[in-house]
Amino acid sequence: MNLRNKLALSVAKLSKITVKKLHLGNATSLPGKLALKISPNILSCFTKQVKKEIITVTGTNGKTSTCGLLASILRADERKIIHNSKGANMLTGIASALIDNSSMNFKINADNFLFEMDEAYFAKAVDFFSPDLILVTNLFRDQLDRYGELDTTAKKIQSAIDKSKHPTVILNADDPGVSSLQNNNGEKIFYGFENINFDFDFDRTKETSVAEISYCTCGEKYAYEKVFYAHQGHYFCKSCGNKRPAPQICADAQISRDKSTLTIKYQNQEFVFHANIPGLYNAYNVLGAIAAALILKIPPQTIQEGLNNFKTEFGRSEKLTINDKNILIQLIKNPVGATEVIKNIDTAKEENTLLIIINDNYADGRDVSWLWDAKFELLKDFEGKIIISGIRASDMAVRLKYAGVDMTKAEIVPDIKNAFKKSIDITQKNAMLNIIPTYTALLEIDKIKHTL
């Protein structure tokens, strides 16, 4: 091993110790950033050591949750995995995860690498390793200042697929942008829903129109037989006849506020799985993780064990209890994801509280105009108190006012720590505090919650 790599590893490990000692954060990216600066090819020293498959998950929404679910399933299958579990999904985060699990002699003991991949950095990562499985969740408009339009994001993911050596690509059949991705180097597997039913407030959650317009490759706008949410559903082109591919792994879903039940058909067999996480968006994450597990030939009973053992990553439907107050934290970062989170909020209980925190730091996306595309109108009948915080709290307050929310129930508390404490104080015991933050606000909440 050359001196540059040894120096990079030593500096990276020392930086993590320093960050932890000084309570500056989780050190999910800094060690990798320093290591890559010193030795740009250090990733290659680690990725050759994996015993089985390298698995990557990419897409706009649901990457962290899908990876977390799949990680739990892999562990239930008694596999040793290395996983960038905190959602640091650029090259620096992947390098940090590998360094954290390596010895000073660069030795790694892992059956699988499971990497959540940022869409924009995926193709660059494939320069250092070739994934065996590539799972793509969905494609929505997200941080246009970073990613551009959907076709730009799709091209970046397609480039990563094209550069990979014989991957199995697992695609969401219900998303037109995802299902159109090609895999000329290996197998292509589709997963999707046939039917979705809700146990709560069905009329409010039912989608009657496509929230994001999708176009066929021929230029015609897709029509839909079923719309599940946004542009995901059963689509077809009236002009050229192109349509949603029939998924090899298909499911019916029963969605409750705090769980979902999936009945899955695969290879002429039917399996029923239960997952204790809320919302249709999470049901898609569960289906994606199960699809990958089935492709890896993991037995259904082991998959269910993994789902039972799953603990949500911070901010992804994360459940806490502080001072006998129930807290649910759900990250929002684009119109579609925010709308799906809002749909799952119980607006009828006066004892519940809502804390909305909007930042516009680089990792959040500088452009917050997406707030006007999210359906905050679904909160107009929220009976409890609403606290608004973050750098763009005033913008969020204006959005709520135009959404028809009773602003006499709302209050701006700019400082996030004060807003968090006040939200807990005014929430009644055994009631629910819903917190919906953008990404950097979520990181602040993660630090604050350990001090309460």
Amino acid present at 194: E
CA 342 to chain CA mean position, Å: 16
Q: For 176, phi and psi rounded to 5 degrees? A: -60, -40
In a 3-state reduction of DSSP, which class is residue 274? Answer: strand
246: number of Cβ within 10 Å: 10
Q: For tokens 């949410």, what's the residue?
A: 229
Residues 6 or more apart whose Cβ sits within 8 Å of residue 129: 43, 44, 47, 54, 113
Of 448, 281, 443, 440, which Cα lies nearest the Cα of 368? 440
DSSP state at residue 9: H
Q: What's the token pair of residue 102?
A: 């390596």
Of 262, 260, 259, which Cα lies nearest the Cα of 247? 262
Q: Which residues pair with 388 in a beta bridge?
A: 356, 412
Give the H/E segment covering residue 97.
helix 91-100
Residues annotated as part of the active site: 367
Tell me if 22 sits within 8 A of 106, measured CB to CB: no
206: number of Cβ within 10 Å: 12
Q: For tokens 């002699």, what's the residue?
A: 105
